[in-house]
Structure 1
Amino acid sequence: MKQLGKLLGFVQDHPLVVTSIMAVLVAAHALLTGFAAIPNVWVALMDPARADPIASLCLGIAGSSSLVGGFAGVIIIFGLESSSARFRLFRAGGGKALQANWVSTMASAFTAVGLCLIAALLATAKELITVPWLIEMALGLLIHATVRMIWLMRRLMHLVKLEDAKSIDESNVKPIPPFGRKRTNG
């Protein structure tokens, strides 16, 4: 269990390593499929008769990736603009690992957009030999960016919760009961 914690910490702190491993796995998958060492699960994405739906699929993935990249940008700006001592400590303590995570969420998402746009152009031109691998890499990057963004968002939400609790304590305001709790006096 301790080893799993170390591995998770490494994965969280080194997004470029995760992206690099993903690229190697996609390349290995493409090579093994090309040499018929394993079955081609993407054979349907190489059919010229399906070029239009394949291009549409690529554009759909590109749209999803754009949304993730944009939302990641909003989360990053929120984390950068907050000026409380707790947020400053979070940013300073996070150091290069935090910066790498912030950059990775947007870079992975927007790289996925680029890969999908290239794949859509290739599909439209009926040059489908590399399209499945571009889609595979784009999906990996999209998932990577999404998971990392949600992890960062949860960390920031925790900081906001702590800041809110501190603010409530200092102001002596009676807190509103949380959602789902029944009120006893109307």
Structure 2
Amino acid sequence: MKKIIGLLKDRPSFATWLIIGVIVLQVVLVKKGVIPYWSEGLCKSNEANDLYLAMLGAAALQAGFAGVVVVFGLSAQPQAFRILRNAAGQSLVNNWMSISYSGFLSAGCALAATLINMLGDKWFSPWFFEASMLFCAHGVIRLLWLFKQLIGVVRDADSKEAQKESER
């Protein structure tokens, strides 16, 4: 289990492809009649576009906050941040890219769900909505985890700085 969690932490694109794979598998299983179609009511609802557009707003919030976290991590100049950026290397880059592109993927899927619903193929639009929700959730979880790590770096740097000042 630790190996899987490590893979998900270091290679966020794996989680993205896993989300896509789960949705494709669901579509295939529904088409073959193995599992019931989960969103029959959503397809018949006249308010589905409102829900899809609301998800577009949530995705935009997630993408905007991701930008704040990335800029915070890139622009902070204390020694602790330089050490973190050097030590984390490509894994940190992958995570920063993931929190950025997951918001855009989520927004794109929400927009696609809205357009597909408006153009008449209502059966397919809930799948894009599901993808939008999962991409956004993945981005938010990863975003909060990264933010917590960055706060820890700041806390440790502040502690060391306070200790140096008290020794003077």
| TM-score normalised by the chain length of structure 1 | 0.86
Question: Could you tell me which amino acid in structure 1 is paired with residue 109 of structure 2?
Answer: L
Q: How does 1:40-55 map onto structure 2 within 5 Å?
A: 40-47=37-44, 50-51=45-46, 53-55=47-49
CA distance in 2, matches of 1:157, 1:134: 34
Q: Is the Cα–Cα contact under 8 Å of residues 45 and 131 in structure 1 kept in the other structure?
A: no
CA distance in 1, matches of 2:42, 2:120: 11
Question: Could you tell me which amino acid in structure 1 is paired with residue 16 of structure 2?
Answer: T
In the alignment, which residue of structure 2 is the partner of 1:110? 104
Aligned counterpart for 1:168 among listed residues 132, 153, 162: 162
CA distance in 2, matches of 1:44, 1:12: 36
What is the deviation of 1:129? 2.2
CA distance in 2, matches of 1:30, 1:45: 16
In the alignment, which residue of structure 2 is the partner of 1:21? 18
Question: Could you tell me which amino acid in structure 2 is paired with residue 32 of structure 1?
Answer: L
Larger Rg: 1
CA distance in 2, matches of 1:6, 1:38: 31
In the alignment, which residue of structure 2 is the partner of 1:65? 59
| TM-score normalised by the chain length of structure 2 | 0.95
What is the deviation of 1:125? 2.7
Aligned counterpart for 2:72 among listed residues 70, 75, 78: 78
What is the deviation of 1:82? 0.8
In the alignment, which residue of structure 1 is the partner of 2:90? 96
Runs of 4+ deviating beyond 2 Å: 124-127, 170-173
2:141 corresponds to 1:147: yes
Question: Could you tell me which amino acid in structure 1 is paired with residue 34 of structure 2?
Answer: A
Question: Could you tell me which amino acid in structure 1 is paired with residue 23 of structure 2?
Answer: V
Uncovered stretches (5+) of structure 1, i.e. residues with no partner: 174-186
Question: Could you tell me which amino acid in structure 1 is paired with residue 98 of structure 2?
Answer: S
SS of residue in 1 equivalent to 2:9: helix
What is the deviation of 1:127? 2.2
What is the deviation of 1:122? 1.8
More helix by share: 2
Indicate the percent of aligned positions where both proteins have the same amino acid: 28
Q: Is the Cα–Cα contact under 8 Å of residues 65 and 113 in structure 1 kept in the other structure?
A: yes
Uncovered stretches (5+) of structure 2, i.e. residues with no partner: none
What is the deviation of 1:164? 1.1
What is the deviation of 1:114? 0.8
